[in-house]
Amino acid sequence: MMARQILVTILFGGDVVKTFKWIFVVFVVVIVMLVGVVAVMGTLAENDLNVLESELRAKGIALEVEELHSTRPEGTVFYSGPPGESATAFLFSAEAAVQGSGVKPSDWMWYEIVNGKRSSLFDSSHDNEKQVIEVVHDNRELIARIRAVAETAPTQMEEVLESMDMRKGLIAAKLPNLQGCRSLCKLLICDAYVAHLEGRPDDALKSCEAALKLAGHIRDMPTLITQMIGIAMSGITLDFFAELLPLTEFSDESFDSFAGVLDESGRREAFALSFEGELLIGRQVFKMISSKTTKSSPSILIDDGGGKMMARVYGSRALSFFRARDEKTHLWIISKYVECARLPYYEQRSIAAEVKEELEGLGWSTPIASLMTPNLLRATASQAEHEVKIDMAKVAIALERYDTQDGYPETLDSLVPDYLPEVPVDEFTGESIVYSLKDDGYLLYSAGENGIDDGASDSSDDIVWGL
């Protein structure tokens, strides 16, 4: 007892109650000061976020769903019939998910031949060729339906958003059966192949047109995944066309029609708009967390009671500084993606390096930005490859038309202006697409993602027209 009194006297000068009062007062003052500092920091971070939002609006970047717009060219005539009969409505219907008679995802014709895993349709054995013919004939009604849908005028953005339920919330947005859509595209390619076998080249080209137009309808939807599916469908079509072109002769009318569809198929603006869609999804996540509304949150972020509790904590005022900084980081990165997506690939590298540096700095302090940032370079490389293939298709058509008169030219400059308005620029280098004459025709290729011309060697990533 004596020892304890001595210890208290040494530590507190004998007046324990008074000392504890002072400790309590100091503690309260420190807490108030910390709360004040946190509040000021949160306010400053939110002000910075508001400034960035104003800058993005001035650049025309959509920050609300209502600000999304169609990326179809000016003067496009949009669909004006019953909403339930638009191309977009079809893509969301159960009808679009039908694989077709005799068509299964595991069939050789889908994954080994049409999709490029083993040569091509043009290397089919007699038995496989017969199988393709049977599948096409068994699905004549479905093919006619798909072609009719493909020919339907584009859907207005308002109806696209309505079909996707994006008005209710981007996170809960519906998507069409994308794998089913790919199968419908491949069915059109098989139809084109059969038309070629039966000596109907212009019908074959019409089916290729329908496949590109169907991909275009999917790309009207402002999400990155629909852009990637549309690009994949176009790639399947253009790879087939590259092999079909030298094997048959098409009428000038068919060439003109197909070239017109190619002109509409680049869709760089649609690709850029999809990143605005990704930006809006992120904004909605932050709004839900800030308002502590987690019932409809995405499972990748909030999948159980613990996740919801963490979201509620992150949405508290005490963490407003970190949350605002996180949201600003997400907005800045995705806005840079939008900026990149509107440029040729060879002009993207400096912006991509800036974004990469920012991404490498992401961590525990920006959890949502870290989770919701897609792979920019992989996505933009896919779009660039898509545009390169479209340009090479235009060049190939011009070469075939030129060949009927004088044989293939020494250089692509000879095609201008009678067959091409200008020689296309390689998206990956900023220079002309590589062309040279060969004994059996010509070689046409792009330098590919690394931007280095490797002479179209088998081990390179050069993108070669045809096989």
For 10-64, write each residue's pLDDT tens digit. Answer: 555 556 666 667 677 777 777 777 777 666 677 887 888 899 999 999 999 999 8
Please, which pLDDT band fits residue 303 given cuts at 50, 70 and 90? very low
Highest mean pLDDT among 47-61, 153-167, 350-364, 382-396: 382-396
The predicted-structure confidence for 252-271, as pLDDT tens digits, reads as follows 999 999 999 999 999 999 99
Could you identify the residue written with the tokens 């800045």? 332
Spatial distance between the Cα atoms of 367 and 78, rounded to a whole number of angstroms: 41
**Summary mean pLDDT of the chain:** 82
Please, which pLDDT band fits residue 121 given cuts at 50, 70 and 90? confident
The predicted-structure confidence for 341-354, as pLDDT tens digits, reads as follows 999 999 987 888 78
Spatial distance between the Cα atoms of 64 and 167, rounded to a whole number of angstroms: 10
Residue type, 129: E
pLDDT of residue 2: 55
pLDDT of residue 3: 56
Highest mean pLDDT among 287-291, 379-383, 438-442, 454-458: 379-383
pLDDT of residue 8: 53
Q: What share of the chain is helix, strand, coil (3-state, %, to 5)?
A: 65, 5, 35
Give first-to-last CA distance, the chain, whole Å: 96
Nearest to 329 by CA among 260, 282, 271: 282
Alpha-carbon separation of residue 16 from 10, 27, 462 (angstroms): 11, 16, 82
- Contact between residue 196 and residue 248 where contact means Cβ atoms under 8 Å apart: yes
117 pLDDT higher than 50 = no
Structure tokens given for 356: 């990469």
For the CA atoms of 253, 258, 261, 267, the dihedral, rounded to the nearest 10 degrees, stands at: -150
SS3 call for 299: coil
